Every structure is written in structure tokens, then in C-alpha cells.
A and B are shown apart, each in its own frame.
Chain A
């Protein structure tokens, strides 16, 4: 079974500062993908960043970057120059491959979420 753990239920940061959200996971797969999703008060699930496990280089998307430690099974999200619009729930997710009835399919397993509040 695949599991994802986010141990920080809530975080807060001042505008323009940097914050890091933690995520650990467990999987027996050798190749997989990791994601961070943002859920603002509108409830929409927005893909922030994705990381391919076989790539050593950490993914970056503008102010968002990850610290991917494969051996430690850790996948943290760093938000630089925090903005008020970054206030949201953030979910870490692991993409795994499953087999059902001889057919392979993909599934995302999500962590518990971290509520991030950016203060002016």
C-alpha cells in the first residue's frame, strides 16, 4: 500500500517570506511521481508542481520548488516570496500504478493536507 503523510496541519508565514511544507511518503515502486496541489477557499484543486522520481533534479515552478529526497522518501514544498494569494490548503500526493483484473491503472494517494496562511 502507498501512504502519504503531512505532519503539519497548519502553517503561517508573513508576506514576502519563505515557507516550507513537509511531506513524507511510502511506496514499493521504483518509479513514481509526486505532486503538490493547492486548494484555495474556492475549493478548486490546482496542480502546483510535479516531480518524477527517477529525476534527481528538483522541480521548480516560479516561486514554488521542491526538495525531493528519494532515499528518505521526503518531498517538501518551498514557497518563496509568499503572497496573500498563496493562502490555501496544500496537499501532497503520490502517483502509483495498480493492477486490477490484469489491467494496469494509475491512482493518486493524498496526504492529510496543510493549511497555509499568509499574513500581510
Chain B
């Protein structure tokens, strides 16, 4: 089954403790992206990657890191989480230009709480 797999589904952590949210897709998609969803703000792009070793900042990149060492994986790293990073996070993928045409395939989301 074609899918984007995100883990964990829920995560509670303490301020300053490094964490990684994993994302993997099995569709050979070039493009992958991370979004965060907050009430009243919708989904905002954090980082994106157009291919292996090619990543760039989205609209709200502060406090986040990503890497793309393999085509299928695109982990999101919070090196020193803070309470304002409490949010619902989505990983998404598509063929490079097809978000414009066909939208994304989304993961199931990670609810992160930083206390």
C-alpha cells in the first residue's frame, strides 16, 4: 500500500530534550515536506526537500532541522524543543512538481507536547 509513515503518533517531552520524528514513504517520491498545524493558523510549511541531499526552509523553520540522506526518509529534528513547538506535525510527499496538480500524500500526524 502506498503510504507515508510517521512515528510516533503521540509524543510528550520536556523542554530542551532532543527528539526526532521519523517519516518514510514507499512511493519513490522526490518531494517531501514537513508542516505544522496550529489552531487558527492552518498548516504551515517547516522544511521541504526536493531530492536526496537537497533541503530548504519553508515558512516557519526556526527551531527545526531536517535531513534527506535517503529518498524514502525525511526525519524532523528538534534539537532543543520549547513549549511553542507544541503542535500537530505532518509529513507529506509527492512527485516533485505534482503538489501543484495533485496535492500531497500525508502521514497520519504526530501530536507533540513540550512541557
Residue numbers of A with Cβ under 8 A of B are 4, 6, 9, 32-33, 35, 37, 42-45, 47, 50, 91, 93, 95-97, 100, 103-108, 110-113
Contacts and interface: CB of A to CB of B under 8 A. Distances in A.
**Prevailing SS type, chain B contact patch:** strand
A113 B98 CA distance: 22
B42 A113 contact: yes
A61 to B, nearest CB: 13
A105 B31 contact: yes
B59 to A, nearest CB: 9
**Prevailing SS type, chain A contact patch:** strand
B42 A45 contact: no
Contacts of A9: 40
Contacts of B97: 97, 104-106
9 contacts: A33-B101, A43-B88, A43-B111, A45-B104, A95-B99, A95-B101, A97-B97, A106-B97, A112-B41
Contacts of A103: 50
B45 interface: yes
A9 to B, nearest CB: 7
Given A45-B90, A106-B31, A107-B48, A96 B100 contact: yes
A45 B106 contact: yes
B108 interface: yes
The CB with the most chain B CB atoms within 10 A, among A42, A93, A107, A110, is that of: A107
A108 B50 CA distance: 14
Interface of B: 31, 33, 35, 40-45, 48, 50, 56, 88, 90, 92, 94, 96-104, 106, 108-109, 111
A92 to B, nearest CB: 9
Contacts of A4: 42
A2 B92 CA distance: 19
A107 B56 contact: no
A64 to B, nearest CB: 15
Contacts of B102: 33, 50
B95 to A, nearest CB: 9
A50 B103 contact: yes
A35 B45 contact: no
